[in-house]
Amino acid sequence: MSLRGTIERINGSLVVARFEAEPRIGDLVEVGKLGLMGEIVRLSGEEAFIQCYEATSGLKPGEPVIDTGKPLVAELGPGIMGTILDGVERSETKLWELTGPFITRGARILPLDRSKRWGFEPTVKQGDKVTGGDILGTVQETESFQHRILLPPGVEGTIEQISRGSFTVEEPIGTLKTATGPVELRLMHTWPVRRPRPFKERLPLSIPLVTGQRVIDTFFPVAKGGTASIPGGFGTGKTVMLQQISKWADADVIILIGCGERGNEMADVVAHFPELTDPRSGRRLIERTVIVANVSNMPVSAREASIYLGITLGEYYRDMGYDVAVMADSTSRWAEALRDISGRLEEIPAESGYPAYLSDRIAEIYERAGRVVTLGSGQRVGSLTLLGAVSPPGGDFSEPVTTHTLRYVGTFWALDQELAFRRHFPAINWLRSFSKYLEVASQWWSKYERNWDQVRAVALGLLEEAAEIEETARIIGEKALPDEQRLILLVAEMLREGFLVQSAFHEVDKFCEPEKQAALLKIIVDFYSLAEPLIRHGIPIEKVRELDIVPELMRLKEREGIKPIEEARIEMKRQIERLAKEYEVAPR
């Protein structure tokens, strides 16, 4: 069913139209002679308000509008993995081939390639009863990625026929007998991006997402199926962190949404991911990654849609039983797009011009994360972890997007400009950040370090204490502090430089395996327990600081594996004992 209408008014990305009959909110429309993509966002009397996903220059009142009668959907099926898509799922690589290096308007590209054939291997057979979410078979989409073909949610019946072979996404692979008649089965189906994909049941979160980034895994972990937010002013390291996680996290699928950010950052991912391999599986990283790139100078409304597209893709892979991590960089640009459209609709603004429903929208987005039992028979489990960058104006965390996000996320990585200025990266402030998944992490970590909870708590405690001591030091000078406190400052420095600082660009340190994380943290904490009695017995702090082992402990992170840590432990004990002997103190 398609409705015809005409343009009444154009105001930036907002187009007002009148239709011959009443259209529906959320319907996808083709606007003007160029057939630009748009979506109906509001109805008022005779008028339909359309947010247009492409630049509207040159449109005139009186030009035609066609309501397609369908909402904005994602096409789901083989052919997405490893690609770079715009906010409405057009392949940017294909756009480039079609229209050159500059994006032109009105280009029609169907998300999934209609001519490409995929080898389909059924896993159900004639006579099987299947319900929505069941796996019908598999397609080896890339060398290492197995695409599981799902029966779309809401369909059920008996397999009448199903064939193995080579199919395009549109060709029938079989038929299903349903209560309302036969239904053809295909490799692809569609799903409205704004509607969460259903699942059977939410599961408690029980496994951390291991990212290889120490400050995250050890101090502020996120669970598989959990949510995290990373707010920070410009240049504090949001993008680099999300890229690090995309590269090294132990997820099966990564969806990286560049929402209103830089074109070069997207190009960087496209250029570098194919060269990188997953340290665990040896798979090329690009084979598990989908990039949604709606950069800052692309139309604002498609930016708003891009987040929903990315999450919908994520849910689809989750439903196959995969662990998916979706990164949204930056949710602030999405919120601004929301504000822009709301402003043009002349809605009453709440804080900072954002619509009153901002908070609800943020909540809805983060609600789509989770670890679930998927639809379909059996107990297939998948997860979608959602990580969102927030770009607060002026780096001020009291603004609406940051504060509302904070209410809905499980982990909060607060970036700190001061740390960034001294090139302490990741610039995650250990006093302002939090994770609600510590219990989950604790269990998991106990296999690497029996006393993980305790070691972590001691380390964090020392860092907190050091922050307080520094306050005093700012007034009276470090020199005037008692040596016990100066030791805490020293150990805090060792924790910062030797553990928290982790360069994304260091060939070894860019990824730190859990075993090494645990060993590194332990050895620095142990250094404190060995040195502390010496100080108590009056050995001057300078003597402790001068120990050769001190810089060595700060360099262990750069050394491959944990053997150097074991060696350093022996050396550390030796040096401490020697110092104790020098002062005739019996070490503990």
Task: Tell me which residues in 501-540 interact with another protein (CB under 8 A).
Answer: 503, 505
Q: 512 is written with which tokens?
A: 């730190």
Identity at 190, one-letter amino acid code: T
Residue 560 burial by Cβ neighbours in a 10 Å radius (0-12, 13-18, 19+): exposed
8 Å CB contact between 321 and 18:
no
The nearer residue to another protein, 132 or 343, going by C-beta atoms, is 343
Binding to another protein (CB under 8 A): which residues in 449-508? 473-480, 497, 503, 505
Is residue 333 at the binding interface for another protein, with CB under 8 A as the rule?
A: yes
Among 28, 149, 135, CA closest to 79: 149
The residue to which tokens 């982990």 are assigned: 411
* 8-state DSSP, 298: S
Residue 8, contacted partner among another protein, ligand ATP, Mg ion, none, CB below 5-8 A by kind: another protein
Binding to Mg ion (CB under 5 A): which residues in 206-265? 238-239
The 368-407 site mask, x for binding another protein (CB under 8 A), equals -----------------------x-xxxx-----------
In sequence order, what DSSP letters do the residues of 200-244 get, joined into one string? SEE----SB---S-HIIIIIS--BTT-EEEEE--TTSSHHHHHHH
Phi and psi torsions of 433, nearest 5°: -85, 160
Name the minimum Å distance from CB 198 to ligand ATP. Answer: 34
Name the minimum Å distance from CB 240 to ligand ATP. Answer: 3
Residue 77, contacted partner among another protein, Mg ion, ligand ATP, none, CB below 5-8 A by kind: none
Is residue 271 at the binding interface for another protein, with CB under 8 A as the rule?
A: yes
Distance, in Å, from the CA atom of 321 to the CA atom of 381, rounded to the nearest integer, reads: 5
The residue to which tokens 């692309």 are assigned: 298
The 219-248 site mask, x for binding another protein (CB under 8 A), equals --------------xxx-------------
The nearer residue to ligand ATP, 92 or 261, going by C-beta atoms, is 261
Name the minimum Å distance from CB 553 to another protein. Answer: 10
Binding to ligand ATP (CB under 6 A): which residues in 309-348? none
Cα Rg of the chain (Å, integer): 28
What lies within 8 Å, CB to CB, of 476 at 6+ separation is: none
The residue to which tokens 């940017």 are assigned: 92
Residues in a beta bridge with 84: 291
Binding to another protein (CB under 8 A): which residues in 63-122? 84, 92-93, 95-96, 100-104
Among 336, 310, 328, CA closest to 392: 336
Is residue 11 at the binding interface for another protein, with CB under 8 A as the rule?
A: yes
Name the minimum Å distance from CB 312 to ligand ATP. Answer: 24
The nearer residue to another protein, 349 or 533, going by C-beta atoms, is 349
Is residue 296 at the binding interface for ligand ATP, with CB under 6 A as the rule?
A: no
Distance, in Å, from the CA atom of 162 to the CA atom of 151, rounded to the nearest integer, reads: 12
Distance, in Å, from the CA atom of 481 to the CA atom of 253, rounded to the nearest integer, reads: 51
Name the minimum Å distance from CB 123 to another protein. Answer: 35
Binding to another protein (CB under 8 A): which residues in 38-57? 55-57
The nearer residue to another protein, 174 or 232, going by C-beta atoms, is 232
Binding to ligand ATP (CB under 6 A): which residues in 231-260? 232, 234-240
The nearer residue to another protein, 9 or 563, going by C-beta atoms, is 9
8 Å CB contact between 262 and 423:
no
Is residue 505 at the binding interface for ligand ATP, with CB under 6 A as the rule?
A: yes
Binding to another protein (CB under 8 A): which residues in 545-574? 548, 550-551, 554-555, 558
Is residue 34 at the binding interface for ligand ATP, with CB under 6 A as the rule?
A: no
8 Å CB contact between 337 and 303:
yes
What lies within 8 Å, CB to CB, of 331 at 6+ separation is: 229, 259, 307, 362, 365, 388, 389, 390, 401, 405
Chain contacts with ligand ATP (rule: CB under 6 A)? 232, 234-240, 261, 391, 425-426, 503-505
